[in-house]
């Protein structure tokens, strides 16, 4: 335990990591009247977080589990509200098509979640889907589930929008600031020390700093079960008659070639495609090798395109990113067992951005109201054997 000193600057809530979830939480807390400080190792939006790469899909009929659907629907509402308040492009309704085999558990879950929540969903067999969207080459053994109300989020615009609104409400953001350690204070608060020796104290702390979460939380008694995995994605030339947003929706597909996702040609940027499974494990603090360093970066994407989207043209450019993977590929959103005033949000396993607005709001509600309107219990750390179970309340 550490003593609070008169020289420490005090905040109601301090947020370590001002990326997608951190900056959303900062906005909602500031709107509720909290004195908020956000610390980030970069200057968001930036290329070192989970929000780079221009675009993300948002789907509501969710093959990863029906527990995500209320979170997705709330997030969609909040993204549209952010678009209005920030006066910036955040969402484009392109529709999203999920593709798999008839017996694919992912596809069954998409159908079940749509039925349970009354979501619009259209089903096609492979040949029907290829006629509906001529870019696709699908077999009779495949099927497609099209969600017309889903679409594309402009992730960097979203982070920038929340940042501007939060700081306009009084939130402070210290960019390019590394956090060295977190301290529990004798008086019940929390202290944060930066690599420059600055020290800030707060009543409540949110740690949503991606790969840094593990190093920051382990000294407090929590070993976060998250592994870094390097992934690649790229843009390709595409005929507008095949790949423009009005004729080609966003997609997620599980096939013999692997699990892939992609976007229509938005504003002439090209057809964007990435591989969701696979990838290369990376050390906790190791740099990511640039796109093309691993032969599979190009070969996997081009092989998938030849099989299913043969109208795609040559490679334009590629990038790498990282997934912070939990053992079950579901999120961690919880409180620290040793201190209930420390909130943890990590392990988003490559599918978290679409929910960032709702998760940020839920964290703010836990702090300001004591509980969130959404049930976050499926994301408790207690589901992992050998970890102390932290508190995880349901909806208020």
Q: Is 35 designated active site?
A: no
Catalytic hit among 276, 330, 341, 343: 276
Q: Is 112 designated active site?
A: no
Q: Is 354 designated active site?
A: yes
Phi, psi of 107 (to 5 degrees): -70, -35
The H helix count followed by the E strand count for the chain is 9, 20
Catalytic hit among 52, 132, 137, 316: 52
Catalytic hit among 163, 211, 272, 366: 272
Catalytic hit among 13, 55, 177, 326: 55
Residue 203 near residue 214, CB atoms below 8 Å: no
3-state SS class at 350: coil
Q: Is 203 designated active site?
A: no
Catalytic hit among 155, 208, 213, 321: 321
Q: Is 231 designated active site?
A: no
Interacting residues of 343 by C-beta distance below 8 A, sequence separation 6+: 204, 205, 206, 207, 333, 334, 335, 336, 363, 366, 367
Catalytic hit among 13, 51, 56, 211: 56
Phi, psi of 141 (to 5 degrees): -80, -5
Both tokens of 239, joined, read: 């005929």
Q: Is 56 designated active site?
A: yes
SS3 content of the chain, % helix, strand, coil (to 5): 30, 30, 40
Long-range CB pairs of 28-31 (<8 Å, 24+ gap) are: 28/360, 28/361, 28/363, 28/364, 28/365, 29/171, 29/364, 29/367, 29/368, 30/166, 30/169, 30/170, 30/171, 31/169
3-state SS class at 47: coil
- In angstroms, how far is CA 151 from the centroid of its own chain? 15
Concatenated DSSP letters of 231-299: EEEEEEEE-HHHHSTTT--EEEEEETTEEEEEE---TT--EEEEESS--EEE-TTPPPPPTTSSTHHHH
Both tokens of 231, joined, read: 């992934």
Q: Is 314 designated active site?
A: no
The end-to-end CA distance of the chain, in Å, is 32
How far is it, in rounded angstroms, from Cα 298 to Cα 293? 9
Show which residues are catalytic. Answer: 52, 55-56, 272, 276, 321, 354
């Amino acid at each position: 335990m550490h003593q609070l000193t008169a020289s420490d600057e005090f905040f109601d809530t301090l947020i370590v990591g001002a990326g997608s979830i951190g900056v959303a939480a900062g906005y909602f807390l500031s709107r509720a009247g909290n004195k908020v400080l956000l610390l980030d190792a970069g200057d968001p939006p930036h290329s070192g977080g989970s929000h780079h790469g221009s675009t993300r899909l948002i789907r509501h009929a969710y093959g990863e589990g029906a527990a995500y659907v209320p979170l997705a629907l709330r997030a969609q509402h909040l993204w549209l509200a952010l678009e209005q308040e920030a006066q910036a492009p955040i969402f484009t309704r392109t529709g999203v098509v999920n593709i798999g085999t008839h017996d694919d558990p992912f596809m069954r879950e998409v159908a079940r979640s749509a039925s349970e929540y009354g979501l619009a969903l259209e089903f096609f067999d492979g040949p029907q889907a290829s006629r509906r969207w001529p870019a696709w080459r699908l077999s009779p053994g495949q099927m497609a589930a099209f969600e017309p109300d889903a679409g594309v989020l402009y992730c960097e615009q979203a982070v920038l929008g929340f940042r501007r609104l939060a700081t306009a409400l009084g939130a402070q953001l210290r960019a390019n600031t590394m956090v060295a350690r977190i301290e529990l204070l004798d008086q019940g608060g929390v202290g944060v020390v930066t690599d420059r020796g600055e020290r800030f104290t707060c009543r409540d702390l949110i740690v949503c700093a991606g790969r840094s979460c593990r190093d920051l939380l382990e000294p407090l008694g929590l070993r976060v079960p998250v592994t870094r995995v390097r992934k690649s994605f790229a843009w390709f030339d595409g005929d507008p008659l095949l790949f423009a947003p009005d004729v080609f929706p966003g997609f997620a597909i599980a096939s013999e070639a692997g699990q892939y996702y992609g976007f229509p040609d938005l504003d002439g940027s090209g057809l964007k495609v990435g591989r969701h499974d696979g990838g290369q494990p990376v050390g906790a603090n190791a740099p990511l090798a640039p796109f093309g360093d691993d032969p599979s970066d190009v070969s996997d994407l081009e092989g998938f395109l030849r099989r299913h989207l043969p109208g795609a043209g040559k490679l334009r450019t590629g990038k790498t990113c990282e997934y912070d993977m939990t053992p079950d590929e579901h999120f961690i959103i919880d409180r620290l067992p040793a201190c209930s005033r420390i909130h943890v949000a990590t392990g988003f396993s490559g599918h978290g951005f679409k929910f960032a607005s709702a998760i940020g709001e839920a964290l703010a509600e836990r702090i300001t109201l004591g509980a969130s309107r959404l049930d976050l219990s499926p994301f408790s750390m207690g589901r992992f054997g050998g970890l102390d179970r932290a508190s995880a309340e349901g909806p208020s």
